[in-house]
């Protein structure tokens, strides 16, 4: 059921050597390929078949669920709506990701619209990797939307990575934070050639004592372009920070716009942003350790996107 | 083992290094000192290839290296500790140490920590980023230099940001490296502790080598150069002439 291309894509986007243990849902070319549920994690298809609802029982700890998507059908643009209902007090990891293999001239793409409802005191780690490959010249696009609603005391850590081969990406991240909740988002995007990626982030800090930290790391090679927009909006006493760094190489272009909006006098919002080439002192240090120029550049980028 | 011949480096009209000739001997410990802006760091950078000399030659173990890149000089056996070490994102001390030593073997990395005298193993997985204190990053810089097992180790102001209690152990470490590994050591410093440890003190002023010898002989000149003095120069034995 999994061919060699599927296995390679699954390995890259979800670190899977084969079928995972525990609950999982693998979607291939717009259809369910294989699903398993566990005693605490249930997965159900939506009535229209265009997505799933993952329900995690309250108090579920140390469990994970894999929901990768693989595409290798020319001309297919797969749209999927996934809901995650994470029960109070649970502590789980969700591993998503989309791998595209494009073998022909027709475009292929995927839009995953993910909505997370994280219950009171629950913790979730969400890992999502996007990757495309193949010798075909068809454009590969990935347009994910992530909405996170955190209840009181809930915590979500989101690792969102686009590692290469994606011609067009339009990402939207939205979050609403309840009292004493915590949101950490780390987004890493590498573009090259003529690729284009846009990331639009809106974090609303509605609850008192909520905390948010959004980190963006972009590497823009060749003639590619990335735009990063992030807005932190505080409606209560809270702490929020945006850190966005972009490394530009070749003719890469970048627009980074962090925005802070405080609607409460006790809100503390900060941001730091930088765009530039690789710092020469970093290159010189690694070269003084015996690496040549290209090895030093690769090592710095590898670390930056780690 | 390192010979500098008619070395010049200029920026615009100004000679930062103004015709230096000197031969460093194998296994010796050199303290390079002089007033701020005299050209000490520039000289060290010319040797490592961080800046390229305008003219002159640099012979390392008899081989002309002045046209070699930083990487090539590192591979020849020269290591360099930066005065202001680079800070990274996503690179840990372990990563740097492994690159420097050419191995990721845990035992070998731990042996290096012991050799440098960094006791805390938790140090190994610290990110080398802006959160490190000035002292911590200098210890990391020193360790990665020693991990290269260099024939020639250049330390540019190794005590910057280091607490007073760590300076003597640091001097002892560099002396031990000199003694046990035969490392030719060049320390650019204003700190008396390093200059006292040096076999030979070199003093640079306005890009020229104005003194070579022991620390005692250098002290009058150092004292003179460290204060403002507007009197007229009265001959070539007057240190004021070297200002």
- Of the two residues A219 and A50, the one the predictor is more confident about is A219
Q: Of the given ranges (B129-138, B155-164, B223-232), which has the lowest mean pLDDT?
A: B223-232
Token pair in block for residue B62: 């008899």
Is the separation of the CB atoms in A125 and A164 below 8 Å? no
When scoring B68, B69, B71 by the number of chain A Cβ atoms within 10 A, the one with the most, hence best to mutate, is B71
Q: Which residues of B touch A292 (CB under 8 A)?
A: 69, 71
Min mean pLDDT across A261-265, B54-58, B118-122, B138-142 is at B118-122
pLDDT recorded at residue B182: 93
CA distance A244 to A234: 19
Contacts of B84 in chain A (CB under 8 A): 281
B14 in contact with chain A, both atoms CB, cutoff 8 A: no
Gap between the Cα atoms of A185 and A215, Å rounded:
6
Q: How far is A247 from chain B (nearest CA, A)?
A: 11
The pLDDT tens digits of the residues spanning A149-206 come to 999 999 999 999 987 788 899 999 999 999 999 999 999 999 999 999 999 999 999 9
Residue A294 sits at the chain B interface (C-beta within 8 Å): no
Give the pairing type, strands B152-156 and B78-81.
parallel
Question: A290: which chain B residues are within 8 Å (Cβ-Cβ)?
Answer: 71, 74-75, 99-100, 102, 148
Mean pLDDT, chain A, as a whole number? 90
Interface test with A, best of B89, B93, B94 (most A CBs within 10 A): B89
Nearest chain B residue to A290 by CA distance is B71
Rounded to whole angstroms, the Cα distance separating A86 from A173 reads 18
Q: How many CB atoms lie within 10 A of CB B105?
A: 11
Please check whether residue B208 is in contact with residue B182, taking contact to mean a CB–CB distance below 8 angstroms: no
Q: pLDDT at residue B243 above 50?
A: no
Alpha-carbon span B213 to B186, nearest angstrom? 14
Interface predicted TM-score (ipTM) of this complex, two decimals: 0.89
Task: Give pLDDT tens digits for B153-162.
Answer: 999 999 887 8
- Residue written as tokens 């999982």? A24
User: What is the structure's pLDDT at B237?
Assistant: 58
The structural domains of chain B, with segments of one domain joined by +, span: 2-242
CA B34 to chain A, closest CA, distance in angstroms equals: 24
Residues of A in contact with B91 (CB under 8 A): 299-300, 303
For chain A, the domains span 1-152
For chain A, the maximum distance between any two Cα atoms, rounded to a whole number of angstroms, is: 61
Alpha helix ranges (H) inside chain B? 40-48, 70-76, 93-101, 106-116, 134-147, 164-181, 192-197, 215-225
Shortest distance between the Cα of B99 and any Cα of chain A, in A, equals 7
- The CA-CA-CA angle for residues B73, B74, B80, to 5°, reads 105
CATH of segment(s) B2-242: 3.40.50.300
Name the residue among A281, A289, A292 with its Cβ closest to that of B100.
Answer: A289
CB-based burial label for B84 (10 Å; 0-12, 13-18, 19+): middle
């Amino acid at each position: 059921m999994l061919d060699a291309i599927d296995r390679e894509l699954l390995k890259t986007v979800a670190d899977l050597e084969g079928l995972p243990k525990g609950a999982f849902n693998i979607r291939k070319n717009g259809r369910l390929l294989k699903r398993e549920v566990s005693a605490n994690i249930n997965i159900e298809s939506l009535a229209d078949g265009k997505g799933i609802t993952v329900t995690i029982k309250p108090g579920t700890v140390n469990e994970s669920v894999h929901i990768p998507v693989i595409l290798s059908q020319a001309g297919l643009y797969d749209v999927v709506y996934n809901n995650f209902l994470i029960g109070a007090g649970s502590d789980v990891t969700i591993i998503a990701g989309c791998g595209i293999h494009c073998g022909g001239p027709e475009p292929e793409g995927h839009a995953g619209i993910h909505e997370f409802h994280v219950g009171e005191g629950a913790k979730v780690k969400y890992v999502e990797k996007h990757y495309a490959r193949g010798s075909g010249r068809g454009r590969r696009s990935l347009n994910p939307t992530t909405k996170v609603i955190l209840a009181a005391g809930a915590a979500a850590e989101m690792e969102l990575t686009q590692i290469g081969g994606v011609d067009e990406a339009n990402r939207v991240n939205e979050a609403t934070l309840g009292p004493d909740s915590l949101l950490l988002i780390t987004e890493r995007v590498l573009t090259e050639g003529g690729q284009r990626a846009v990331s639009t982030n809106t974090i609303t800090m509605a609850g008192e004592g909520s905390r948010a930290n959004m980190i963006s790391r972009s590497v823009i090679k060749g003639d590619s372009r990335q735009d990063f927009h992030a807005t932190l909006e505080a409606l209560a006493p809270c702490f929020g920070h945006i850190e966005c760094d972009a490394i530009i190489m070749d003719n890469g272009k970048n627009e980074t716009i962090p925005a802070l909006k405080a609607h409460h006098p006790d809100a503390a919002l900060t941001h730091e942003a930088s765009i530039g080439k690789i710092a020469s002192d970093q290159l010189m240090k690694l070269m003084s350790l015996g690496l040549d120029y290209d090895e030093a550049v690769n090592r710095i980028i590898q670390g930056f996107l780690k | 083992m390192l010979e500098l011949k008619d070395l010049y480096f200029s920026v615009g009209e100004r000679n930062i290094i103004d015709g230096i000739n000197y031969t460093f001997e194998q296994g010796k410990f050199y303290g390079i000192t002089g007033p701020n802006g005299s050209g000490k760091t520039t000289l060290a950078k010319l040797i490592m290839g961080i800046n390229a000399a305008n003219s002159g030659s640099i012979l390392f173990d008899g081989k002309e290296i002045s046209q070699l890149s930083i990487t090539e000089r590192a591979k020849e056996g020269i290591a360099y500790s930066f005065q202001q070490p680079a800070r990274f994102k996503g690179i840990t001390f372990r990563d740097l140490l492994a690159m420097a030593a050419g191995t990721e073997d845990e035992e070998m990395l731990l042996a290096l920590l012991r050799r440098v005298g960094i006791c805390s193993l938790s140090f190994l997985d610290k990110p080398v980023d802006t959160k490190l204190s000035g002292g911590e990053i200098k210890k990391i810089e020193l360790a990665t230099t020693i991990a290269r097992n260099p024939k020639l180790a250049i330390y540019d102001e190794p005590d910057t940001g280091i607490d007073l209690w760590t300076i003597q152990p640091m001097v002892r470490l560099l002396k031990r490296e000199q003694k046990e590994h035969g490392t030719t050591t060049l320390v650019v410093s204003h700190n008396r502790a390093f200059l006292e440890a040096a076999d030979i003190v070199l003093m640079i002023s306005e890009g020229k080598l104005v003194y070579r010898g022991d620390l005692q002989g250098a002290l009058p000149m150092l004292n003179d150069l460290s204060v403002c003095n507007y009197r007229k120069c009265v001959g070539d034995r007057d240190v004021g002439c070297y200002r």
